[in-house]
């Protein structure tokens, strides 16, 4: 008997496993590398939606939890994951400058938006109207983090590298059984794999495919994240991530020429230098219709839980959501209403009448 089974080891599963270790709970994790959204993520923690200059949902609360969380992981695993890098929003017009100033005066955004227009002459970037700087930003190397944490759990015998078979899960009032395991609770952090989960597939997780490029551009030489029609993220050694696409129909992890051309054509509207594409990756983001996470307890089976639906902001949301779920299970604390899956109880009842 263990306290928990976790299904899935992306950012959500990693964050919840850390909660369990801190609480001295016993657990095992099932993961088969089938979900790639955490590995291919850009990894930015950015509290502002830069298309509309609006605040990210629960940005203050999320950053308060996220930054110490990644610092602890760096210390535990003796690796660097958190790169403090500013985000510059390239302005395309005077109108965009004015919208930025209007947004920076709003109480919810004044902590995050610099009121100074940054002018940088750069032969490789077309930025006639300058940039606005987002404060308190950075990049998490999610691929290195997930790989290192996978190795960490595996070395301690806490990871089972196989596909979880939902049909073999047996439910009892006070515990669950899976093959030769018994556990008091099971938490599904299965990303887009939720679509195959018979206990939680009533939830409106759509999934959007995202593709990222990595380019080598020796002449570019920027030490900030550049946001224009796409993000350009420096990752060292003259390499930059370019992304990301949003595709609602294709639900595979296969890279496409269409996405490659879309990203490059957008990038070339503001980047004027030689480059070479050296990598391309794809994954399905676990996105939800109302753009809020899926966290909470199954409507009927009280030892089944879900931690999912982080979308494109998993690096910010996962530490906060995992702590809330842990406190909910352990101490019966209230979950934030916006993320609690009880908001879909009516849908569950209508499907199970």
Give the C-alpha distances (Å, rounded to integers) separating 273 from 92, 122, 126, 219, 301. 19, 11, 11, 7, 57
Residue 239 · residue 216 · CB < 8 Å: yes
Residue 314 · residue 38 · CB < 8 Å: yes
Sole residue written with tokens 């020429």: 257
pTM check: above 0.85: yes
CA distance 114 to 117: 8
Report the alpha-carbon angle 253-27-189, nearest 5.
Answer: 30
Region of 224 (left: φ > 0; alpha: ψ -120 to 50; beta: rest) is beta
How are beta strands 304-308 and 181-188 bridged, if at all?
A: parallel
The sheet with strand 131-134 has its strands ordered as: 131-134, 87-90, 225-227, 231-236, 239-243, 208-216, 276-285
Q: What are the structure tokens assigned to 110, written together?
A: 């004044």
pLDDT tens string, the chain, 353 residues long: the values are 999 999 999 999 999 999 999 999 999 999 998 766 665 668 999 999 998 899 999 999 999 999 999 999 999 999 999 999 999 999 999 999 999 999 999 998 999 999 999 998 888 999 999 999 999 999 999 999 999 999 999 999 999 999 999 999 999 999 999 999 999 999 999 999 999 999 999 999 988 999 999 999 999 999 999 999 999 999 999 999 998 999 999 999 899 999 999 999 999 999 999 999 999 999 899 999 999 999 999 999 999 999 999 988 999 999 999 999 999 999 999 999 999 999 999 999 999 87
DSSP state of 320: H
């Amino acid at each position: 008997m263990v306290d928990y089974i976790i299904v899935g080891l992306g950012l959500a599963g990693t964050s919840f496993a850390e909660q369990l270790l801190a609480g001295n709970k016993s657990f095992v994790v099932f993961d088969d590398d089938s979900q790639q959204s955490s590995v291919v993520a850009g990894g930015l923690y950015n509290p502002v939606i830069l298309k509309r200059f609006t605040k990210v949902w629960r940005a203050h609360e999320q950053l308060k939890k996220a930054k110490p969380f990644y610092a602890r992981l760096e210390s535990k695993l003796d690796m660097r994951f958190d790169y403090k890098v500013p985000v510059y929003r390239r302005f395309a017009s005077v109108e965009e400058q004015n919208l930025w100033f209007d947004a920076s005066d709003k109480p919810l955004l004044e902590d995050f938006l610099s009121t100074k227009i940054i002018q940088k002459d750069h032969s490789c970037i077309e930025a006639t109207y300058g940039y606005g700087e987002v404060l308190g930003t950075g990049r998490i190397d999610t691929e290195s983090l997930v790989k290192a944490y996978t190795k960490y759990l595996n070395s301690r015998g806490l990871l089972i590298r196989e596909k979880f078979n939902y049909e073999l899960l047996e439910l009892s009032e006070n515990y669950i059984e899976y093959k030769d395991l018994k556990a008091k609770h099971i938490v599904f952090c299965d990303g887009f794999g939720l679509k195959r989960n018979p206990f939680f597939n009533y939830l409106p997780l759509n999934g959007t495919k995202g593709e990222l490029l990595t380019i080598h551009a020796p002449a570019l030489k920027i030490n900030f994240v550049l946001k224009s029609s796409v993000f350009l993220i420096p990752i060292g050694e003259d390499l930059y991530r370019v992304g990301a696409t949003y595709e609602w129909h294709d639900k595979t992890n296969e890279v496409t020429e269409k996405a490659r051309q879309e990203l490059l054509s957008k990038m070339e509207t503001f980047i004027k230098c030689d480059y070479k594409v050296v990598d391309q990756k794809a994954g399905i983001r676990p996105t939800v219709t109302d753009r809020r996470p899926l966290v909470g307890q199954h409507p009927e089976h009280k030892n089944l839980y879900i931690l999912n639906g982080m979308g494109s902001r998993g690096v910010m949301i996962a530490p906060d959501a995992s702590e809330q779920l842990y406190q909910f299970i352990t101490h019966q604390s209230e979950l934030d209403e916006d993320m609690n899956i009880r908001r879909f109880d009516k849908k569950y009842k209508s499907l199970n009448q």
